[in-house]
Structure 1
Amino acid sequence: MRIAVIGAGALGSTFAALLEKAGHDVILVARGAQLAAVSASGVRLSGGFGDWRTTRLVAANRLNEPVDLALLTVKAQDAAAALHEHGAALAGTPVLVVQNGLDGVKTASDALPDSSCFGALSIIAASYLEPGSVTVTTPAMTYLGRGTGKPDAEVLRFAAVLGEAFPVQAIGNFVGAQWTKLVVNQLNALPAITGLSVQEVIGNRRLRLVMARSMREAVRAGIARGIRFGSLQGLSDRNLRLFARLPVVLGQALPLVFAARMGSVPNPGSTLQSLKRGQRTEIDFLNGAVVREARLAGFHAPVNAALTALVHEVESTGQFLSPAEVLARLPRLPR
């Protein structure tokens, strides 16, 4: 199958390398130093899926030819621009949106009315901190679906195709799963603010409690918006609703579970990686999404609002904050 991967960050490069290894003809749309590195010597993938370098992958700065499937793997804040730029080439092409946040599939469907758009949630953790090289720190499942119903025939077909390259599962209630992933993505803000790995943040008890508060706000926003959470990463609608009622001192068990699953290889989180590459982060589509959804439900999400603002501050200044500075800047909240 001829497959385009639009976006050559950690996840896009990982998918491109795995799809090539499975025998597909892959075009990786990249920019700048990443385009130059991949054009010269391919993608070097190491870590959880094995170590090798691609040999047949084609790197390009723009998609100019028809493909059988396109994976949109740019960050959420860049999706609209990427869809506009490649809209002519993607017209009528099935598009798989691999993205954090809640709005990716709708954004693609609105931009490409002649294309069938569906979504993917990937739990793979990968680090791309130098051009042309990606390290997978956590090999994991990628979930495909759309809407709130059962997976349709097209989703099942592409899940089977992609499943030959990396672990894939077609799921129902994709919208609910997006909300569950939004809870998981609360792991990202504090590493981006402090420059610490996810494991180091969770190892700090006071920062861990902040993370648990941000997760609890996300779950409570979803409940208030009438969401039935999808099952993902060992989380389910039932246990997330229980988590929302727990005092934060007990709720801190949730980030501890995530840290245990990550193992000992430092995981910087995707938001910190963006900062280290000098790129804008997608924080407005992660913690910022919680703030917006809570507002629509008629209440505030002060921890997520503060974390969003602090990430933007680090974007502007280039200076990380110490844990003590972070704690001093956060609102005081009841247990």
Structure 2
Amino acid sequence: MTEAQTTQTHLPQTTDPRNPGMPLDMDMVMRRTANRSAIERRAATLPGRRTLKKDHQAAWLARAISCIDLTTLAGDDTPGRVARLCAKARQPVRADLLAALGLDGLTVGAVCVYHDMIAPAVSALAGTNIPVAAVSTGFPAGLSPFGLRVAEIGESVSAGAREIDIVISRRKVLTGDWQGLYDEVKTFREACGDAHIKAILATGELGTLQNVARASMVCMMAGADFIKTSTGKESVNATLPVSLVMMRAIRDYHGETGCRVGYKPAGGISRAKDALVYLSLVKDELGDRWLRPDLFRFGASSLLGDIERQLEHHVTGAYSASWRHAIG
């Protein structure tokens, strides 16, 4: 693996100015449509379009690792479990494999936890450039009182979270209340201060791809630094058709404003080969600049274990059992 490939897999997180948002432009929002049959046909071709082998595949898998938000969002999370997850975030692949690949220093993009686990995560990641992301605003349903949702953001930022994953009110999308959605996300953005805001659309609950397209645009207008597919708690999470719609909204927003907004598919992405498909879609639709952790993340946990297993096969020529690559 070349020195250039190695350098590009590392952080820092942010190199572009943040998206400042813009006034709500309803003409721009309502122009967003979605031809479902065409989108699904395009998505169906994606898994067979690119074939990556040997060193090229290993390099892309290393890039995928650098873009993972390593996540634990379980009701029985403990400081010890979070500390183990953070140790995996600091060294996501066995040291001997990293040395063989020439990737010493590779880390994941962030660690994502509930509010109560921010302090243990910040402590475990001290001395690294790995940010802690916290889910907020009544995650996962977003149905708690609005003032409490705003206050929750402030508490998480004060506790040390550098990224806040907020959930939008799905009912505002389903009823076409675009002004209400814009005002909500704009208020959340202001409450985040210097912390980056990822707007979770919960696309599996929005009804149509057109709603996904319009909600994506409104959230970006309100100042979202990332738009994200899912909480991981819905019955349908990240899919390729939804990803295609959201990436094209990002591309159009960039064309209109010059601002780059990040993308995060989350939920159900657990295999290395699926990660490669998503990376290839990002490359095709948004370009190489988005293949960095400041503009692309996977919301995942078990994905890392499968990628490590594939990298071990690349180095040794043998597959190991999945239990040998525990996440935490």
TM over 0.5: same fold?
A: no
The answer to which structure, 1 or 2, has the higher relative contact order (CA under 8 A, 6+ apart) is: 2
TM-score normalised by length of structure 2: 0.29
Greater fraction of residues in strand: 1
TM-score normalised by length of structure 1: 0.28
